[in-house]
Amino acid sequence: MIRNITPLAMMLAIMAMTLAAVAGPTVERLDKDAEGLGWKLGTQAYTFNRYTFFEAVDKAAEAGLKYIEIFPGQKIGDGVDGNTHHSASPAARKAILDKVKSKGIRLMAYGVVNGNNDEDWTNIFTFAKEMGIQTVVCEPKFEALDLLEKLAEETKINVALHNHPKPSIYWDPAIVLKQLEGRSKRMGACADTGHWRRSGLDSLECLKKLEGRIKTLHFKDLVNDGQGPHGWHDAPWGTGDNNVPALLAELKRQGFKGLFSFEYEWDWETSLPAIKQSVTYFDLVAASLVEDGFKPLFKKDLSNAIYEEGGWTTHETSVCTNGKSGDIWTQKRYADFILDLEFNCHEKSVNSGVFVRTDSIQDWLNTAIEIQVLQGDAGNPKHNVGAIFDVLAPFKPQTIEVDAWNRFQIMARDNMVYVTLNGQATTALDLNLWTEAGKNPDGSKNKFKYAYKDLAREGHIGLQGHGNPICFRNAQLKVFK
């Protein structure tokens, strides 16, 4: 039973139930741009701690992940004695390495691990070096840092100080930075973007503070609905409160290169579909941050557009309505893509929209997905800016000013359509949840005669002219298929 909860929580609850029922194939990655940025997306094996390590590796491979971080104490599996631990026998270590190699996965980090004494720490680094691990993730006592610095230099293995929530001694980046002052560049931080939220901190500001010291990340998107540790729990990336596009944009600005360990600590036994969805989202956002591959949506002379003569004009990089009703459409049809554009509502209450995957231009109302553009408040969250019109409200209310430029990034991949407005993750539409014509998953009605799950997964892109003065500029498209 779904209680009286927010629209976002309602959507996430429905999504979770649907994802849990779907196993699905191995993820087809779109990771060219992510890899070009030096970003290595893997998983912390703790995500699958209800399973053996071998099972965790299989699940990571199914999610399309190429890297893994092990934690101390996971049963190895398949009859191999022992756990993933620095005390593991030579036979167990070989079995671990053979397993990841068989799946095309690379061991990258070990943690969160702590030593009880100097000998223990030495064994941890010896183990890491033997296993080809690049980073030891830990929360050592302050007095152990001199030894860890020495071991890091001797073994050429990085140390990353991890931030569990309060009362962890490293919960605040200021504490981490103080302990790293004057120390080797091999000493840095493991930035856990979820635990910062649980400690009442802003993840984006924490990343900024740690610039130049981030060695690896435990990456999360969370919702704050009173469930999970400290009232927060994991959600598919792009659907939570952590504003993943802003975090990734900041890491790109910093020039971060390294491991993102996917750590999903919710729906432990049924999390794989949500992880797969998040992997695709990561790839899309990474691709949105790389200029290479984007091309103008329309030619300057609009020769590749469909529109009524006299309805639209071009001005340098913009296309504007001439005060008449009538939409402008691409001649080509597109399936999976990133659309990046800006829009300007020149008067109050301007109403417009961006159409994607429109199967029939003549019946656009029923065959297009419309991302709403509106200056002002319609009185219905599903009709406000950033909404999927009449279908899905933004996570949080969004407002735009009159005669100001605003930026949409619209990302479509298979059943998912994501909207980012002015750098803020705004809407995430899973077409598969809309199973009934005229009805939304939350029980509200919509005006469309087809269930969204049955809409074409490719079609024309259009900009709406409602007779209102609006301009769109810098409309760029990166096409995957």
Give tens-digit pLDDT for 335-381.
999 999 999 999 999 999 999 999 999 999 999 999 999 999 999 99
Give the number of other CB atoms < 10 A from CB of residue 92: 18
Report which residue type is found at 143.
E
* 87-96 pLDDT, tens digit each: 999 999 999 9
- Do 43 and 259 contact (CB within 8 A), yes or no? no
- SS3 call for 131: coil
* 440-481 pLDDT, tens digit each: 999 999 999 999 999 999 999 999 998 889 999 999 999 997
Q: Which residues, at least 6 apart from 362, have a Cβ–Cβ distance to it below 8 Å?
A: none
What does the alpha-carbon distance between residue 196 and residue 337 come to, in Å, rounded to a whole number? 32
pLDDT bracket for residue 5 (50, 70, 90)? very low
Average pLDDT over residues 421-425: 97
Give the number of other CB atoms < 10 A from CB of residue 342: 17
pLDDT bracket for residue 325 (50, 70, 90)? confident
Give the number of other CB atoms < 10 A from CB of residue 226: 11
User: C-alpha angle with apex 381: 470 to 2, nearest 5 degrees?
Assistant: 150
The percentage of residues in the chain with a pLDDT greater than 90, rounded to a whole number, is: 91
Phi, psi for residue 42 in degrees, rounded to 5: -135, -165
What does the alpha-carbon distance between residue 78 and residue 100 come to, in Å, rounded to a whole number? 14
Report which residue type is found at 60.
A
Residue 343 token pair: 């829009």
Kindly report the length of the chain: 481
Report which residue type is found at 94.
K
Give the pLDDT confidence score for residue 250 in this predicted structure. Answer: 98
* 29-79 pLDDT, tens digit each: 999 999 999 999 999 999 999 999 999 999 999 999 999 999 999 999 999
* 264-314 pLDDT, tens digit each: 999 999 999 999 999 999 999 999 999 999 999 999 999 999 999 889 999
Task: Tell me: pLDDT of 20 over 60.
Answer: no
* 163-183 pLDDT, tens digit each: 999 999 999 999 999 999 999
Closest Cα to residue 171, out of 235, 248, 229, 106? 229
- Do 33 and 286 contact (CB within 8 A), yes or no? yes
316-320 contacts, C-beta under 8 A, 24 or more apart: 316/473, 317/473, 317/474, 318/471, 318/472, 318/473, 318/474, 319/463, 319/471, 319/472, 319/473, 319/475, 320/469, 320/470, 320/471, 320/472
pLDDT bracket for residue 386 (50, 70, 90)? very high
Half-sphere exposure at residue 316, Cβ-oriented, CA atoms within 13 angstroms: 3
CA distances from 177 to 75, 112, 174, 340 (A): 35, 19, 5, 37
Task: Tell me: pLDDT of 1 over 80.
Answer: no
CA distances from 122 to 154, 188, 325, 358 (A): 11, 19, 73, 61
Domain with CATH 3.20.20.150 in the chain: 23-288
- Do 261 and 111 contact (CB within 8 A), yes or no? no
Q: Write the DSSP string, 233-251.
A: EE--TTSSSS-HHHHHHHH
In the CATH hierarchy, which top-level class contains the domain 23-288?
alpha beta
DSSP assignment letter at 202? -
What does the alpha-carbon distance between residue 29 and residue 32 come to, in Å, rounded to a whole number? 8
Give the pLDDT confidence score for residue 481 in this predicted structure. Answer: 77
User: C-alpha angle with apex 275: 273 to 278, nearest 5 degrees?
Assistant: 115
Buried b (16+ CB within 10 A) or exposed e, 101-136: eebebbbbbbbbbbbeeeeebbebbebbeebebbbb
Q: Which residues, at least 6 apart from 225, have a Cβ–Cβ distance to it below 8 Å?
A: 5, 6, 9, 231, 233
Closest Cα to residue 45, out of 261, 235, 209? 261
Give the pLDDT confidence score for residue 12 in this predicted structure. Answer: 53
- Do 33 and 291 contact (CB within 8 A), yes or no? no
* 363-373 pLDDT, tens digit each: 999 999 999 99
pTM: 0.93
Domain with CATH 2.60.120.560 in the chain: 295-479
Residue 182 token pair: 């004057």
> Over the chain, what is the mean pLDDT?
94
Average pLDDT over residues 425-431: 97
* 387-401 pLDDT, tens digit each: 999 999 999 999 899
Task: Tell me: pLDDT of 126 over 90.
Answer: yes
Give the pLDDT confidence score for residue 40 in this predicted structure. Answer: 98
Task: Tell me: pLDDT of 436 over 50.
Answer: yes
What does the alpha-carbon distance between residue 382 and residue 388 come to, in Å, rounded to a whole number? 7
Give the pLDDT confidence score for residue 3 in this predicted structure. Answer: 33
Half-sphere exposure at residue 471, Cβ-oriented, CA atoms within 13 angstroms: 16
CA-CA-CA-CA torsion for 6, 8, 11, 15, nearest 10 degrees? -130
Q: Which CATH architecture has domain 295-479?
A: Sandwich (2.60)
What does the alpha-carbon distance between residue 390 and residue 378 come to, in Å, rounded to a whole number? 11
Average pLDDT over residues 203-219: 98
- Do 297 and 476 contact (CB within 8 A), yes or no? yes
